[in-house]
Chains A and B, each alone.
Chain A
């Protein structure tokens, strides 16, 4: 699972108010090369929650993202490459996503998070 996917996930248990972002517990992380497409990075940037990306990246051992990011940085190649790497090339293979409010763990196995809720959770 890429951090782009992580950026879009939250704890969706009924009644949870602050289920975002999910904390990453990383047991196994893999890096896989992905084609560098600056146009796509500009396309997706407005939808990215930067703090969630930065926090998730740090949990996966990537700590070179700036504290904040703005539209102007999207012309900066050096920034785009770091953004690209964190967003699309770092994969959580084994571990868990943890709800910041309830501590509920969504296990990640073979790169696939299990977001199935029990009946009493939805």
Chain B
């Protein structure tokens, strides 16, 4: 699938009805989502035939994209009931059933699900501006849930910190910024005075050390 096609597919996915500030429910824009998905599918071929977890899935833009790009099983995880309801509706829009399941779970509790794992984790976590450290909680959970790789978006201003954090605390075997993107943060919150605000965002890819199967 071409990047343009992917982006226009992403545009059809319904956003949050009323974004919740405390959860930093910025919608993953079609621009960011399509670039993340494109990197996983085209640069690394890590969707086709694989299992995927979309952590903090919101309205399921990344889950749907992963399924359309060949993932055989996707689990979208989110804490918010309202977001999951829209996510399920978005998945149900497709005539051929997409292999996407959802579970409601808190990112701080999900690592205790010791058997819950996927080949690849994708996420657009909160930037941690409302609840400090939320972005690191997502990274910590992602490293518990992934078997091979993690793709994530973080503010470019946190780049050095993240590099150290994943290498020292999370035992990443590699951590690489694939691209720097501009996040056109829409004025979806009333406290944002300007119409929209550009933020520099890094698209990261992390790898985990190999592990053995258990069942």
Q: Which residues 95-110 of B sit at the A interface, judged by CB distance below 8 A? A: 97, 99, 101-106, 109-110
Known contacts A44-B51, A112-B84, A116-B109; is-contact A10 B73 (Cβ 8 Å)? no
Q: Are A8 and B72 in contact (CB under 8 A)?
A: no
A111 to B79, CA, bound (A): 15
Chain A contact residues: over half helix, strand or loop, or mixed? loop
Q: Does A58 contact B (CB under 8 A)?
A: no
- Complex Cα gap A5–B88 (Å): 16
Q: Which of A32-40, A60-68, A74-82 contacts B (4 or more CB under 8 A)?
A: A32-40
Q: Is the CB of A110 within 8 A of B88?
A: yes
Q: How far apart are the CA atoms of A14 and B50 in the complex, in Å?
A: 31
Closest to B73 in A: A4
Q: How far is the CB of B119 from chain A (nearest CB, A)?
A: 9
Contacts of B84 in A (CB 8 A): 112
Number of A-B contacts (CB under 8 A): 87
Q: Interface size (A, Cβ < 8 Å)?
A: 34
Q: B111: nearest residue on chain A (CB-CB)? A: A12
B66-116 residues at the A interface, CB under 8 angstroms: 72-73, 75, 79, 84-85, 88, 97, 99, 101-106, 109-110, 112-116
Q: Are A1 and B101 in contact (CB under 8 A)?
A: yes
> Is the CB–CB distance between A46 and B213 below 8 Å?
yes
Q: If the complex has contacts A10-B115, A20-B115, are A113 and B99 also in contact, measured as CB distance less than 8 A?
A: no
Asked if B186 is an interface residue, CB under 8 A from chain A, the answer is: no
Expressed in whole angstroms, the Cα–Cα distance for A20 and B104 within the complex equals 18
Assess whether B117 is interfacial by the CB under 8 Å rule. Answer: yes
A-B contacts, 11 listed (Cβ < 8 Å): A5-B101, A12-B109, A12-B113, A12-B114, A14-B112, A44-B73, A88-B99, A110-B85, A111-B101, A112-B104, A117-B109
Task: Name B's A-contacting residues (CB within 8 A).
Answer: 49-51, 72-73, 75, 79, 84-85, 88, 97, 99, 101-106, 109-110, 112-117, 213-215
